[in-house]
Structure 1
């Protein structure tokens, strides 16, 4: 075993130690330990996704109960996304400074406390304040969790492993849709947020079961702790597999980090500037289109086609379930197809589907249901791939920050998508809504095809030294 605990006294520099730890992760077979960690972190991400979508299903009742106009409705819908944007930017810096696991645990605890606060709100102002703070937690947890899972996974079939974890996010969206479509008409929106507070107990499970990323520990100069944590992981994997681990392959030559590690400035210069711009465009366009559709669907079904609340929520749930299918298909094929090709094709197919919807099938609720469900297959598939791709293209020292930039552009798309759709829809131009969204999806597809770098089959330290 190379660079194990007995050799820690030599204190190799962070870059060399990180390279050696990367080589040690490469020899770990996927086993029960990986699955356990993935399930624990996945449960957190599941419930953060669950919390994120609940506002769309509470909104019809909130509009009636508090007599909200269009402007107030839009504010209630988007304030959480503003918080998520701020949370994404803040969490990346915190996770690169304080550690991945601490930030993840704090986010789930804060989100659950906000759900309790939402249950007692009696007017829009305190509700929006609680949703903003909850947005900080949701926006902070998701990119940091994606970073952590990428850092504990070897190159072989990394795409499948990471995306099968990331499936918990759309699964959380789907579960939220299913529960809300049943619970809100039956008991009201307060019960929905009350039940969503229960998963806050997961922060205790994280502290007990999930180790800090050895790659991060090495990068922060905590060499002995990095080695001890890596050795403990290897012992657990050996117990899980019942066989000794093979010797790690020789570590690749270590590239030193730039002097005075510059954080955000490093993301915007040299080799990482183009990567930052590309993933920013992809996150923005994918989520602009996705949430431009899903946030307004229940309202469109009710006001445009006269469906009841239960019918509108049921139709919207079908679209969310279709998106989950797209995520599963991408998870199973991304290692073979490649990241760039997957995103390019999915966004391109979504653009074609939405264009056809805008031109041909916007005149009936069933037509909107069929075509938006098909578009969601492609949009969810593209967006989930970004959770895999983004942590791969940045080095450990700025990986969480780079992922959080993607998360912030995600949130910007989530904010502006519903606003633009609401403005266009206010004029009654439903077909124009879908044509506009098709154009945005096409921009994302062209960007991925022309400028994204392929990372399939490459070790993290090789992709981003």
Structure 2
């Protein structure tokens, strides 16, 4: 008699509960997995990628006050410098959506991280605003591609009943990266110069090579691409790691779930019920990032140029806004599985509109006043941004999930570009800061109205939402 194999060595389509084999679909097997060290490991590795993407995204804003003096930049040149990466992010989001559904979530993320890190090193050695902007554009290609595809992957390994908290606790790493960029800049920029910040931003290159070896490809994606045996093997390896981590038999899978095994096309996200989802999602992404970057990109320069604050104080005030944003992300992570995506998005957009409206009416008369209300605003804005990275992949089937999420990312890049350009145009034309914050408040209020039409997704599996 041959020796009995351990449960994780049985056939790839089999799982074992209390020593007994049981069949289960890929989705059902992922849904029944208890939270374990495996989930923590994956969130940490993908989170490290997202952390540095956020870090790199905000580098230009931290360097801008110094660059304006060092290279005698006009407002128009400064605007071009900060939006070059955003244009790259827009194009990167388009390419990454296709690549994420074509070559896989993990490989796409690794490629984007490598591009981001190498381009950051090139930015550090730029000798003019033109080369600075060129390499920031290339860096943006990587950043724009990584973040939505990474969020898609995290959604696909999360359980439906706790998906909101699972994904948003992961998403906290993004505002943490933004806060870290500002915190590091407080010391590095005055003491080592702006170039040192971009050298630090090249560190993700080390992660890019290691990621595919330590993170399983999404089993849902493998199945959707018709690579059934690979999907089964990936799930079996994940189950083995979870079982070892929990030291308990895995529970039985739930009833079989109809899984997506089709080949998605971009045009599908504009048909049938997906047309409404795509339209609402696009509007929410645009509004959230228009307002967010309309504020965050210009804050350090406003503090130094408009209010006459020293660079260290300006960066500390900016750091305060990033810290409150991190707190906002944590709060929404704790409540979104109970109150739902739609209500959370409406509340956060409404709160952002209120904070900006009060600041506009108060007149934005001092740096301290702006810092307080801007920090209240980022509390809500970061919650929105994190919520959208959860919400976007939920709305599409596996075959189109990365494309759908990345298409939303395209609209957030348009917001990232147009928001700072609009604020820069108002400031350049001599407009008041009250006007700047008033128009941002109106845009946030429009976003709250758009959120009213959002489809609720809480507590439902990805397959149920798209069957």
Q: What is the 5 A alignment of 1:297-316?
A: 297-316=299-318
How many equivalent pairs are there?
A: 451
List gaps (5 residues or longer) in structure 2. Answer: 1-6, 15-22
Is the 1:47–1:199 Cα contact (8 Å) retained in structure 2? yes
Q: Which residue of 2 aligns with 1:85?
A: 90
- Of the three residues 101, 104, 109, the one matched with 1:99 is 104
Q: 1:311-353: CA deviations, max 9, x gaps?
A: 2122111111111111111111111111110000000111011
Q: Which residue of 2 aligns with 1:247?
A: 252
Q: Which residue of 2 aligns with 1:73?
A: 78
SS at match of 1:156: helix
Q: Which residue of 2 aligns with 1:442?
A: 445
Q: What is the 5 A alignment of 1:31-42?
A: 31-42=36-47
Q: Which residue of 2 aligns with 1:56?
A: 61
- Of the three residues 124, 132, 142, the one matched with 2:129 is 124
Q: Which residue of 2 aligns with 1:13?
A: none
Q: What is the 5 A alignment of 1:7-406?
A: 20-254=25-259, 257=262, 261=263, 263-406=265-408
Is the 1:41–1:145 Cα contact (8 Å) retained in structure 2? yes
Per the TM alignment, residue 287 of structure 1 is displaced from its structure 2 partner at its CA by 0.7
Structure 2 distance, partners of 1:148, 1:166, is: 12
Is the 1:147–1:399 Cα contact (8 Å) retained in structure 2? yes
Structure 1 distance, partners of 2:260, 2:147, is: 29
List gaps (5 residues or longer) in structure 1. Answer: 9-16
Change (3 A) 1:256 1:45: closer
SS at match of 1:68: coil
Per the TM alignment, residue 158 of structure 1 is displaced from its structure 2 partner at its CA by 0.9
Query: What value does the CA root-mean-square deviation take over the aligned residues?
Result: 1.6
Q: 1:261-286: CA deviations, max 9, x gaps?
A: 45221011111111011010001001
Structure 1 distance, partners of 2:46, 2:315, is: 29
Q: Which residue of 2 aligns with 1:408?
A: 410
Structure 2 distance, partners of 1:145, 1:255, is: 20
Per the TM alignment, residue 118 of structure 1 is displaced from its structure 2 partner at its CA by 1.1
Is the 1:5–1:224 Cα contact (8 Å) retained in structure 2? no
Change (3 A) 1:308 1:387: same
Q: 1:33-91: CA deviations, max 9, x gaps?
A: 01100000000000010000010010111111111111111000100000000000100
Is the 2:100–2:402 Cα contact (8 Å) retained in structure 1? yes
SS at match of 1:378: helix
SS at match of 1:157: helix
Change (3 A) 1:78 1:6: closer
Structure 2 distance, partners of 1:222, 1:32, is: 27
Change (3 A) 1:423 1:48: same
